[in-house]
Amino acid sequence: MTERVYNFYPGPATLPLEVLEEAQKELLNFHNTGMSVLEISHRGKDYEAVHNETESLFKELLKAPDDYRVLFMGGGASTQFALVALNFLTQGTEADYIVTGSFAQKAQEEAARIGKANIAATTKDDNFNRLPEKGEIKLSKAPVYIHMTSNNTIYGTQWQEIPTFDGIPLIADVSSDILSRPFDVSKFGLIYAGAQKNLGPAGVTLVLISPDMLAKANKNLPVIFQYGTFAKNDSLYNTPPAFAIYLINLVLKWIKRNGGLDAMAKRNQEKAGYIYDAIDNSDGFYQGHARKECRSLMNVTFRLPNEELENAFVAEAKKANLIGIKGHRSVGGMRASIYNAMPMEGCKCLAELMKDFAKKNG
Ligand SMILES: *Cc1c(COP(=O)(O)O)cnc(C)c1O
């Protein structure tokens, strides 16, 4: 393989080529230090500048309120499933979970090991092909937070409009659609995202937390599990995943250069549009998994008439340099993950292949 392919893997996922080239260019000599960014102290001014700029760029792109804090943590989104509960679901309290996919379910199950974590709604009976209506969400009396997942990576559903609940802090796992569209973070007490879908490489998890939530976070935990520790020390209590943060810094600049979140949303709509059109115009050859009104712009899930054709499709795609489109086993079929960094051309190529393949095999 000598040329770059179109990489539709769900995560770790494709990164902007420009970003990889920049990282490559300065890998051996970072900002004239004579050292790689991989080698320099996390307490030196060269790294610190990257660290602080990444925090401010992230807030700038999201238009986050000034007093919200960005934390760089380890352990992936899965660690946040536990940390959210450890920090807020203290004894005698309860929290409500909106279960719209297997990651949402894992978040609820992890919290249930720590405290009282109710399922306020679940669409499991429909194999998570939709999101619950507001009327289906049954809140408990006094939840300390409501947890939701903004985009369901495996099933290909995405909240079009974020529900709000008077006076109850909302917490969201935004791992697979952060920075893909304008997003009113002031509605949330806390959001978190593993980086490897839409932000950068695996190894760092971004948390954005409001001052209210920070004040409420549990202080009777090992210090390394407290959000307060990360806030107080600007995420430098211990060694942060510096290289991952550096790459995120480059990705954020790439997003900014390319017009910010409004431009990302517009582009993502057009990209997903090619593939959804190919599904909808196939006379039923392709069946989308997600209900139309819940469709994700990040992960497009669909089936073919049978598994044999699905295997043949994957093989054809591979020949055309379209890699990683096999769906998750819990849905079957195909999943095209088309995060910010997936070029328009990749989506067009996939849509073309879908049309050709349906014509030949339909
Ligand atoms: C990928 C993903 C996760 C799991 O992330 P890790 O960083 O591997 O722990 C959790 N939630 C969502 C929505 C995801 O897409």
Per-10-residue mean pLDDT for the chain, 362 residues long? Answer: 88 97 97 95 96 98 98 98 98 97 98 98 98 96 97 98 92 98 96 98 98 98 98 98 98 98 98 98 98 98 97 97 95 97 98 98 90
Distance in Å, CA 263 to ligand 1 centroid: 25
At 158-178, the pLDDT tens digits run: 999 998 898 999 999 999 999
CA angle, 326 as apex, 307 and 318 as ends, to 5°?
Answer: 100
Sequence-distant (≥ 6) Cβ neighbours of residue 281 within 8 angstroms: 355
pLDDT in tens, 203-255: 999 999 999 999 999 999 999 999 999 999 999 999 999 999 999 999 999 99
- pLDDT for residue 94: 98
Q: How many CA atoms lie less than 13 Å away from 219 in the CB half-sphere?
A: 7
The three-class DSSP label of residue 118 is strand
Q: Which of these, 25, 75, 86, lies nearest to 240 by C-alpha position?
A: 75
**Residues 58 and 70 sit within 8 Å (Cβ to Cβ):** yes
Determine the distance separating the centroid of ligand 1 and the alpha carbon of 78, expressed in angstroms: 6
- Tokens, residue 61: 């792109």
Both tokens of 335, joined, read 């999943």
For the CA of 152, the closest atom of ligand 1 is 13
Which atom of ligand 1 is closest in space to residue 153's alpha carbon?
15
In order of their start, the domains of the chain are 28-257 (3.40.640.10), 258-361 (3.90.1150.10)
6 Cβ neighbours under 8 A, 6+ residues apart: 14, 321, 322, 323, 342, 343, 345, 346, 349, 350
Write down the pLDDT at residue 275.
98
Task: Provide the pLDDT for residue 1.
Answer: 55
**Ligand 1 atom with least separation from CA of 101:** 13
Q: Which residue has 């719209």 as its token pair?
A: 100
Q: How far, in Å, from the CA of 177 to the mean position of ligand 1?
A: 11
